[in-house]
Structures are given as structure tokens and as C-alpha cells.
Structure 1
Amino acid sequence: MNLLFIADPLEHFKIYKDTTFAMMREAAARGHRLSVCQPCHVSWRSGGRVTALAQAITLTGEPDAWWRPEGDAAPLVLAETDGVLMRKDPPFDSEYFYATHLLEQAEREGARVVNSPRSLRDHPEKLAVMEFPQFVTPTLVTRSADEVRQFHAEHRDIILKPLDGMGGMGIFRVGADGLNLGSIVETLNQHGTRTLMVQRFIPEITQGDKRVLIIDGEPVPHVLARIPQGSEVRGNLAAGGKGVAQPLNDADRETARAVGRLLAPRGLLLIGLDIIGDRVTEVNVTSPTCFQEIQQQTGFDVARTFVDALERVLQRGR
């Protein structure tokens, strides 16, 4: 198959841990042909089809110069590929939003896009948890400083975060004393012009923020617990958390299956569910990670499972 990966620049990849690289490596090992581009390389001319200025590549197996180009970058009609994998990292900003519209048009022309661009748009990673109130800690989404103060008065120990954050950026904890609550709200909501999320603090964060991967509706049997270090309350690897692979427990398996059964039919082949204790905190769908960390620590080949599912989905669409 011919696969197009829409991603960040290849020179930014850290291949020892990058999940998109793990997908590419597994796909290439099966003989699939790879091309790459960035969202800025996708265009649509009136009267034509959605096209990307794409670069065909070969993986070298070397740790540094890990890929080489095959010829020059050339226009590629997305509908003429066998599959398009949207793997651009967050944030989900206006340009990402526009990219989903272009990819949805490509779908109308016959392209197969993973994850579905409409579902990427309809499931922002913080807000998506609100569809599953049975699994989440008490949560408030608002612009109102007064509502945040009321939420804090009720729950006493809270987490505040921006809706468009990633990697733990912009996350604050406010305890029972309410210290700096007003300043933090002003910082996050920009004096009432931006929406933020507030959640009751989950003390089980000390045991890790578990990343549960769901592939075609089924959870992977191992999770990566991102454990905060030192005085941090953030377990995100980008914020210095330590990743420890663990077997998926029964409670989290049932939660993941319930979420996966609902979301996979919407075109979300790969989901990264974040669970603290037994509470879901995020539903990651843009470019879920942790394939390599799980494989390196447990031997379970997540990329193989993913490409198996990808092949099934793309072959069904032929």
C-alpha cells in the first residue's frame, strides 16, 4: 500500500521514542511505501482534488540519518493513496482545524484518512471526556471566574488547565487555601475571553497518569503510567514525568472498552485514554503516543497491533 503520513518535520523526530516513527517502521517492514508531508503542504485548487506536496522516503535503519528521500517532492492526490495518517502533534489551533476540512474534502473524493478528520474536529482532547460523565472526576468547562470560585469552594483541591494545552503546559493546582486562584484564572481565561477546564484534584496522580491505548475499539494490554517526579503534580513525560509500563487492570480495561466501542465506529482508529486512579482525564485522538515506551519495557509490539488494524480498515474501504 501507499501510505501518506501528515506529520511534523522529520528532523524533529526523536526516533527512540516517536510513535509515528514506530508506525512507519512497521509499515515499511511489511513492504508498504511511505510518503510524508506537513499540513502546510496540503492544498485544494478550485475544480481539482485535494493534493499534498509529498516526499517519498525510505527508512535506512540508521539512528541518525534514519530516512532518505526517493526523488524530489511531488504533488500527490490524497484520494490516489491507499491511506492517509494524520499525525500532526497538537495544539489543535486554527490551522489544524482548517487541515481537517481539507482532509474531509479528500475523504469525499475517496481518500481514507486515519483518524477521521471529522472526528478529530468533533473530539477536542480535553472536552471529549464530557461525553463520559460516569468515568470522569467532577469537571467544569467555563469562562466564568465566578463559576471557578464556586467549583473551588465545593471541591477545595482543584486542577485548572487550558483547553488547547499539551504536554502538561498551563496546568495549575490550587489547594484548599485558594492561594493565587484569581491570578491563575486571569492567566488562563484571559479576563473571560478564553474557556478553561477545572477538575477536582485526583490524589492517585502520585501513582501515575496512565496512558491507555485503544486500537480499533480494543485496549492494548499494557499502559504507560507517567509518574510525577519531585514536587510536580504533572505526570506528562514532557513535564519530566517518569514512564513506567504496567499491565492494564480490569477496571481500566472495562472503561477503555466502553469508550472504544463508542468512538471507534466514528473513525477513531487510535485513541490515547488518560486515566488517573479510575477517572478518565483526557481522550487523546490527534497523535496519541507511548508505543515505543510500552514495547521497550514489556515486549508488546504496539506498532504491529496498530498496523494490523490499519490494514484491516483500509482494505475494508477498497
Structure 2
Amino acid sequence: MPRTISDMSTGTRSIALAVTDGMLHFELALACEVFGTDLSHLVDPWYEFALCGPGAVRVGRFRLEPDHGLDQLPYADTVIVPGWVDVDVAPPAELVDAVRAAHAAGARVVSLCTGAFVLAAAGVLDGLRATTHWAHTDVLAARHPQVEVDPDVLYVDNGSVLTSAGKAAAMDLCLHLIRLDHGSAVANTIARRLVVPPHRAGGQAQFVTAPVPERGDAPLSELFSWTLARLDQPLTVEDLARRANMSSRHLTRHFRTATGTTPLQWLLTQRIRRAQELLETTADSVDTIATATGMGTATTLRRHFNRTLGVPPDTYRRTFHDSRPAPPR
């Protein structure tokens, strides 16, 4: 008899990717790449990963043979539903029922892109804030008025229910899950391996006029690297503008176009991310880390860290600190 998800080794987080005919192959392949690749050399144990479907399924031009049936979803720790090709067609009832059962059993349920329509049909988004690809947010809101649809964010984390916008935002949510489960240092290492940004906050706008700096934005591209090498210094918007050889107002406008946020908010996010890495990979005191990240004092670091992540630095360290060497860069 083939092994089921419920047979997976104790202490190993299991992820089930729910697949049926009509899934978007990009989001499906993305989840397989992130969670289905054996990365036990970074974290041991890594995830146990399985495809669950009603049988052989057609995804675009490809035919997939799932490992298990949809009845195994309730046994997984996390269930991921990829994007749905045609939002005008109701998702299969067996998929909706399986997702509903998984949520009722305590699984963390995640949708990528238009997979939110499956979660909404299962009722797991009722009364919650959620998102999907910006082109379909109006449809989701009209069809499921009990869901608070936010069209202006990359992903929404409700704890046991998480939803993402489309394409690149699905990668952001996958990395967010790894950060929750294994810490910032591991997530950043995997992001480098995938050659993607290590962290974009879920509240960042979905649609940015120029998400990747163009050739004319070379000063801003250089500014990012220059700033990251000087996070221990008390940088101001004026300092950044001077380095980029532009006015503060022009820098702020340029920054929002390229990143969807302000220079100071971006800088604070980088300081917090650096603090996370240091808390995970060193034994440095909070005072030392505050100095190394440009926060100045432990009090300032604790205030911003708690406000951003919901836990104080000491609690975060107890959760994620690992005595092993930091993952390779």
C-alpha cells in the first residue's frame, strides 16, 4: 500500500499541493520548485511534499500523476492551492470539499493567485481579509461579499489562512511561509538560490509602474547596494538623495515607482531584516544588534521589531536561533 501523508515522519512539516484540471502551471511549478526540492542541506528535516489530486490531471499542455488523492489533504500541515485558469467556472466540488475538510482539520491553507476562488468557495475566507490577482479582485469581491478583498497588497496572512496576488507575489508568499517556519536566514538563502528579492512585505502594492529599475534607474540600483552596506549608519532621506544625486522629493517619487514604498519605510524594512538574520545566526546582544542595524538603542530596535513582526527580539531568537553555522550565501 502506498505511503499516505499521515505516514510522514513525526516532526517533519508536510505540504500538500492540491491539483486538478484547470490549474495555472506557473504557480503550480513555483510551489513545486520552492517546497518540493530537497533542501535538507539547509534545514533538516525539510518539508515532506506531495501532490494531491483526483487522479491524472491536465495542467496546460502537461499531464500530472499526483502522489495521493484529495482525501489526503486533511492530513497535511499546510495545503497549497495554485491559481485557477478560468475564474468564471466554478472549481470542482471535490477540490472545494477537500480544502474545507483540511481547514476544519487544522491545516494551514494557502492560495496562490486565483486559488483564492477555491478557498472562498470552501468558505474558509468568510469574514477574513484576502487578495488575489489584481485583475480578478472585483470578481472575487462580487461573488463572495462575505470576504474582505484587498486589491492593493501582495499577500495576506491571517495565520491559518493565507492568500497571495498573482505570479511574483506567489513567490513572495512562499518565501514568507519559509520565513515563518524556518526563519529569515533560511528564507533569504533560498531567495538567493532562486535569484529573487529576499523579502517584499505583504502590504506592498501589487501594481508598481516599474517594479524592476530600468537602465535609466542605475543610480537607484547602485543606491540599494550602497545603503545595504551601511545599515549600521544613521542614514536619512537627504543622505540617500545626495548619494543618488537627486533631490529628496525626486528620490521619494523615484523610490515609490521602483519599490512601491518610501525610502524610510524601505530602509526600516532592511534594518529589521538584518536584525532577524543576526538574531538567528549570532549570539550578539540586542544592544549590539541595534548598533549593527542602525537602530541606535535596544529600546528602539525592540519597538520597531515588535511593531513589524509582532514579537520582541528575544522571543524571535528563542524561536529561530540555530547553533549551526549560518546557511551559505
Does 1 or 2 have the higher relative contact order (CA < 8 Å, sep 6+)?
1
TM-score normalised according to structure 2 size? 0.31
TM-score normalised according to structure 1 size? 0.32
Which structure's residues are more often strand, by fraction? 1
